[in-house]
Structure 1
């Protein structure tokens, strides 16, 4: 079960809170006069994931625009569109971008907030999400779940503060595009890299631009997570220029072993960090003790230890 107090902690559906706002599910049914104030909640819009009716999400979105003062809407959580395991997220993205002028206050957006019983993360059919940043220049928070058919192209966006891609396999082209973006206000970046079997084909070299931090001058949190090459990533992080300006670093959810942890401990100092998240790991007890002793002033999450002697090492989120 996800930790709703920590938005970086594994998978949840944002049915309670999102972007520091309570979530209100919009169904389009009932008395519109009883809806909450438009800017007081994060609105969750979700068509039935197994609804075969073409245009189900567009119809729901049209009712939303009729019944809610969209000029005051600050946050939207998109759950499912019709058949998200077969149809791409363009079915949800296009109604948003086509009507962007009606959402001048929108600051936070999540696309694909589905639990595994609704649609496994690797089954979610995404699409090009770049138009969302192009249509909403004031957007401060963009989060996307699902890597299948996901596309992203380099952009400049002056307002974005949080960018998060959750996947069981993040395409290398998306990883490279993130590094090629100019995001002067970005403070938090999370990439769930996943595994090759589900499309996670990135190599450490694909992270070079992110590791340099040249286009990310405001970055304070970096998450390079859920990877089957977590040791290699840790070794690269050990000398990455961006690390010196970070407050929090997450190398969690992957197949981190003593080899990667050794690289971290012998690389550049990490004592300036406030938090180091390594949860879900394959570290030995002696290495866990070394990390704790080396970073006494850092809040280090070493929870969810897996069997370091197990030959089958797995990431926390795959299928």
Structure 2
């Protein structure tokens, strides 16, 4: 299955693709949808600059709550310039959510979606509550903190270690949900457990209730670290999905601190054996924890990789 697809809802709102040459009378109320700025590949009817200008002239910007940027703002040729968005911060006064890089596999590989330093965007929008980013090439997050951000999601085939380290260290006092796809070092990833240390202690993120450390080759190491991490008792849900989690990682979780306070433990897309799947399910399901063990994978060893494990999204 593909884990990379266009979002149909964002920030609790249905996405609405801003149409070419729309009659303003036919548009929905500005605060009723997540405005999706996107053109299909090879659709030359209107370029990005013209679409952006028409959007800013047609929609009541002060009422816009959420924007989703797709193609061609983000594609394989480079990332979006943040200047037009920052320049409009005095008019986009109600903006609470941004999705950067809403492209599917057919439009661009996830490893080829370029980004930049998101610090200026966060500084320009101190009231932003949700930020979703797809892609990781060139991405950085060098911000000391943000007071309002509640949800941060980074979908990446290779999250740059420096960006992951900055996210882990950032002071985000309102953050409730954090999901990081760490990815493959061959596609720009390679973060270590040590670089995520502040995140495992919960430092600077007192409101955190959901933590997803996903889509990596170090899932067993992460499970071992989370088995004693001080952030875990405050969580209501935890995800180690989409990666190379095996019996070793599950054994570490079972031998570690209790997880029966969780509402959900997502281990989907994994390499766990039958016996260990039964053990983790038996330990947690009777306590009311929903354990997701779907999408078990089979090892595919070859001459280059004797281990044979792989992650859900890399290229």
Alignment TM class, shorter chain as reference? over 0.9
Is 1:207 aligned to residue 169 of structure 2? no
Task: Determine the C-alpha separation between the residues in 2 that align with 1:135 and 1:58.
Answer: 20
Gaps of 5+ in 2: 302-306
Q: 1:20 aligns to what?
A: 12
Task: Determine the C-alpha separation between the residues in 2 that align with 1:81 and 1:173.
Answer: 27
Structure 1 pair 238/78, CA: closer, same or farther in 2 (3 Å)? Answer: same
1:271-282 to 2 correspondences below 5 Å:
271-282=260-271
Q: Deviation digits for residues 172-193 of structure 1, max 9, x if unmatched? A: 1001101221110000000000
CA shift for structure 1 position 49:
4.6
CA shift for structure 1 position 61:
1.1
Aligned residue for 1:256, secondary structure, equals: coil
CA shift for structure 1 position 202:
0.6
Task: Determine the C-alpha separation between the residues in 2 that align with 1:50 and 1:270.
Answer: 49
TM-score where L is the length of structure 2: 0.93
1:90-105 to 2 correspondences below 5 Å:
90=81, 93-105=82-94
Q: Deviation digits for residues 112-171 of structure 1, max 9, x if unmatched? A: 010000111001111111222111111100010001111220232111000111100001
Structure 1 pair 176/51, CA: closer, same or farther in 2 (3 Å)? Answer: farther
Task: Determine the C-alpha separation between the residues in 2 that align with 1:197 and 1:42.
Answer: 34
Quick check: 2:140–2:163 contact (8 Å CA) kept in 1? yes
1:183-202 to 2 correspondences below 5 Å:
183-202=172-191
Q: 1:162 aligns to what?
A: 151
Quick check: 1:50–1:83 contact (8 Å CA) kept in 2? no
Structure 1 pair 100/47, CA: closer, same or farther in 2 (3 Å)? Answer: farther
Gaps of 5+ in 1: 3-9
Is 1:247 aligned to residue 243 of structure 2? no
Q: 1:36 aligns with which of 28, 32, 45?
A: 28
Aligned residue for 1:295, secondary structure, equals: helix
Q: Deviation digits for residues 28-68 of structure 1, max 9, x if unmatched? A: 41312111110011100024555799x93232111101010
Q: 1:6 aligns to what?
A: none
Structure 1 pair 49/211, CA: closer, same or farther in 2 (3 Å)? Answer: farther
Is 1:295 aligned to residue 287 of structure 2? no
Q: Deviation digits for residues 207-240 of structure 1, max 9, x if unmatched? A: 1011110200000000000001111111111111
Aligned residue for 1:176, secondary structure, equals: helix
Aligned residue for 1:269, secondary structure, equals: coil
Task: Determine the C-alpha separation between the residues in 2 that align with 1:308 and 1:241.
Answer: 32
Aligned residue for 2:111, secondary structure, equals: coil
Q: 1:130 aligns to what?
A: 119
Q: 1:306 aligns to what?
A: 297
Q: 1:69 aligns to what?
A: 60
Quick check: 1:28–1:64 contact (8 Å CA) kept in 2? no
Task: Determine the C-alpha separation between the residues in 2 that align with 1:114 and 1:82.
Answer: 10
Task: Determine the C-alpha separation between the residues in 1 that align with 2:89 and 2:257.
Answer: 44
Task: Determine the C-alpha separation between the residues in 1 that align with 2:61 and 2:83.
Answer: 16
Structure 1 pair 49/102, CA: closer, same or farther in 2 (3 Å)? Answer: farther
Structure 1 pair 51/147, CA: closer, same or farther in 2 (3 Å)? Answer: farther
- Alpha-carbon RMSD across the aligned residues, in angstroms, is 1.8
Quick check: 1:154–1:180 contact (8 Å CA) kept in 2? no
Quick check: 2:214–2:239 contact (8 Å CA) kept in 1? yes
The count of aligned residue pairs is: 308
